[in-house]
Amino acid sequence: MFSLFSKETVLYAPVNGKIIRIEDVPDQVFASKMMGEGVGFVNDGNEIYAPCDAKVIMVPSSKHAIGLKTKKGIELLIHIGLDTVNLNGEGFQVHVKENDSVKRGQLLISYDKHLMEKKKINLITPLVITNSSEYIIEKLVEESQIGINDKVLIVKWNRRCNTWKLLDV
């Protein structure tokens, strides 16, 4: 219960692979931070894990992304690959559903990496805090190999925005 009142939330890598700067994601929507602050990943595997304890708030029918929300109101988007929405769900398997509560490290989505490579899909996976303007984001690592047990971002309460909202997650 004490951690609920902490003024920061740690986000862990949702993949095993390499972390890259959000500005280096080859998609202008993410690189320009139009969706929010974050980081990108080059996944060595084919699975996406929860970067923190949260509630699943969105899984599109195309299965290419997942939206999460923490008890503190931090909204996250994990977008698997670029232009994967055009696959209409082909090659993706979702292991959770909307309104599920998930724990850090829990498997969220897996995908057929060979199919994606065959279709020449760029699998860079952004992790974006879609309401990042309400928080102070501290990046812990850039341009290095990481694993799902590695801390990658700290999201801090922004006193000016007075954002900590306790939610039923």
Task: Write out the catalytic residue numbers.
Answer: 79
Q: Which residues pair with 128 in a beta bridge?
A: 38, 77
Angle at CA of residue 165, ends 160 and 166, nearest 5°: 150
β partners of residue 161: none
SS3 84: helix
Please give the single-letter amino acid code of residue 109: I
Question: Among residues 126, 136, 133, which one has the least CA distance to residue 21?
Answer: 126
